[in-house]
Amino acid sequence: MKGGILRCRIKSVSATLILWAVIAILLLMYYGSAVTKDWNSSELSYSKLDSQESQRDIREPTQARSSEVRRIVYIRIPKTGSSTMTMLVWRFAWARNLSVLAVNPKFEGTRDRLTHKMFFLPPPGQKYDVMAEHVLYNKESFSNYLAEDAVYVTMLREPFSLLYSTLYYVPAFQKTITEVNKIEAYLKNPAKYDNTAIMAGRSYTKNPQSSFLGLRRRDFDNEGKIQELISSIDRDFPVVLILERLDESLILLRRVLKWPMKDIIYSVENVNSAKPKLKITPEHREKYKKWSLADHKLYNFFKKKLEESIEEAGPELQEELAVFRKYKMDIARYCRFQTIMDEDMLFTESPYNERFSITRKDCSLIYVEPLVLISNIRKRQHAYPFLSPSL
């Protein structure tokens, strides 16, 4: 009797396993055909690379590689989408074996001026090609360690949005402002929290963007000094990206740096989705504008400049933007389903890019955690007595 029951149970389990196996096969067939159908109906052409093409490096066209700007310094301002942009810079450097000034882990987050104690010094007579770190902008100190022909880039965020993100992200504000509506509590007495979570004598909540770009605390309300800062950044930075218009910013940056389209494909990093939705009034915004005057002037200037550049570029930029967004969407989809479709993705030539491929390795680089990538960069650079020479 017991043997009969056992045999029935075994048959039942076997039938269940077979059923699940059939379901899994049907799902794979469905998703595989759906993805293939979607690719084939796309305006772009995707195909598996044949054996001859796979022997050649088609990911970085020779012309683009010879003319692209390879020395770049990204001033990484906290909570401005900086992790996303940093990954682009690091990924570009990794793919080309460029030397990267990577701050020693024990100094990460100090947000202080760059000093020789923070990183491995380059070999005598050499300088780093690339940097993307949370350090205060000071071109004189940077020139000691970074290539003199490096292009300087930064990204700004609408100041009130930045405040919102900061109050719900920085641990110090989680402890000192216990109210659910931290914005309202902060604006009742902003001076009370100005020294909370101090970073190198600067404030996280009063003109933090201007501070990172060199405005001294004593000049926060000095309109003459604020204008000097704006003029110096306008002179030294060929492109200032705006987070709220990131895609357009990247297209303009790509034109300056002459990077292939592939190298500005990004995934959004380090997003705080736990922020509550609050009722924000015009009075809240006006009060913060008076308190953080420099950041508002800085942001408004460069936002206007970006919008003027977009308008001057005309329909061609909008066409390039549409191509870029389609590539970005299709690459995200490919990377999501790459385990099903075991083939490289080939993008045909367009007026805005030479053809290139996306592989599993590319997906890994696009979606890898920032700390993992910079750790690998450190290991590669400092596994030997000297850095690889600049290319």
Does residue 231 fall inside a structural domain? Answer: yes
CA distances from 196 to 12, 117, 200 (A): 64, 26, 12
Two structure tokens written together for 268: 């959004």
pLDDT band at 23 (very low <50, low <70, confident <90, very high): low
What is the rounded distance in angstroms from the CA atom of residue 152 to the CA atom of residue 155? 11
Is pLDDT above 50 for 168?
yes
Does residue 158 fall inside a structural domain? Answer: yes
The residue that leads in pLDDT, 104 or 231, is 231
pLDDT at 244: 97
pLDDT band at 308 (very low <50, low <70, confident <90, very high): very high
- Which stretch of DSSP H or E encloses residue 357? strand 356-358
Contact 162, 183 (CB under 8 A): no
Does residue 180 fall inside a structural domain? Answer: yes
pLDDT band at 152 (very low <50, low <70, confident <90, very high): very high
What is the rounded distance in angstroms from the CA atom of residue 46 to the CA atom of residue 331? 11
Two structure tokens written together for 386: 């000297």
Question: Could you tell me how far CA 27 lies from the centroid of its own chain?
Answer: 34
CA distances from 351 to 88, 124, 328, 331, 355 (A): 23, 43, 17, 19, 10
Which residue type, as a one-letter code, is found at position 288? Y
Is pLDDT above 50 for 335?
yes
Does residue 16 fall inside a structural domain? Answer: no
What is the rounded distance in angstroms from the CA atom of residue 341 to the CA atom of residue 37? 12
Is pLDDT above 70 for 16?
no
Q: To 10 degrees, the CA torsion angle through 190, 193, 195, 196?
A: -150
**Mean pLDDT calculated for residue range 327-336:** 91
**Mean pLDDT calculated for residue range 50-66:** 37
Two structure tokens written together for 17: 């396993």
The residue that leads in pLDDT, 354 or 390, is 354
Task: Count the neighbouring beta carbons within 10 Å of the beta carbon of residue 380.
Answer: 14
Radius of gyration of the chain (CA): 25
**Mean pLDDT calculated for residue range 147-170:** 94
pLDDT at 215: 93
pLDDT at 198: 58
Does residue 86 fall inside a structural domain? Answer: yes
What is the rounded distance in angstroms from the CA atom of residue 112 to the CA atom of residue 199? 7
* Strand order through the sheet with 151-156: 100-101, 130-133, 72-75, 151-156, 239-242
> 353-358, long-range: CB within 8 Å, 24+ apart, which pairs?
353/260, 353/261, 353/262, 353/323, 354/61, 354/63, 354/64, 354/260, 355/58, 356/58, 356/59, 356/60, 356/61, 356/260, 356/261, 356/262, 357/49, 357/58, 357/59, 358/262, 358/331, 358/334
Least trusted range by pLDDT, from 284-298, 302-316, 336-350: 336-350
Tens-place pLDDT, residues 198-233: 555 678 899 999 999 999 989 999 999 999 999 999
Is pLDDT above 60 for 29?
no
Is pLDDT above 60 for 189?
yes
Does residue 2 fall inside a structural domain? Answer: no
**Mean pLDDT calculated for residue range 282-294:** 96
List the domain range (segments joined by +) for residue 199.
68-316+370-382
Question: Could you tell me how far CA 363 lies from the centroid of its own chain?
Answer: 15
Handedness of CA 217, 222, 225, 230 (dihedral sign): positive
pLDDT at 204: 86
pLDDT at 124: 81
3-state helix, strand, coil in the chain (%, to 5): 55, 10, 35
Beta carbons within 8 Å of 153's beta carbon, 6+ residues apart: 72, 73, 74, 75, 85, 237, 238, 239, 240, 241, 253
Does residue 206 fall inside a structural domain? Answer: yes
Contact 390, 72 (CB under 8 A): no
Q: At 203, which CATH number?
A: 3.40.50.300
CA distances from 202 to 53, 110, 276, 320 (A): 54, 11, 27, 40
Structural domain total, the chain: 1
Is pLDDT above 70 for 57?
no
Rounded to the nearest integer, the mean pLDDT of the chain is 81
**Helices 223-236, 293-313: crossing angle, 10 deg rounding:** 40
Does residue 333 fall inside a structural domain? Answer: no
The three-state secondary structure class of 186 is helix
The residues facing 136 across adjacent strands are: 113
pLDDT at 18: 59
DSSP readout, 314-326? THHHHHHHHHHHH
Is the whole-model pTM more than 0.85? no
pLDDT at 183: 93
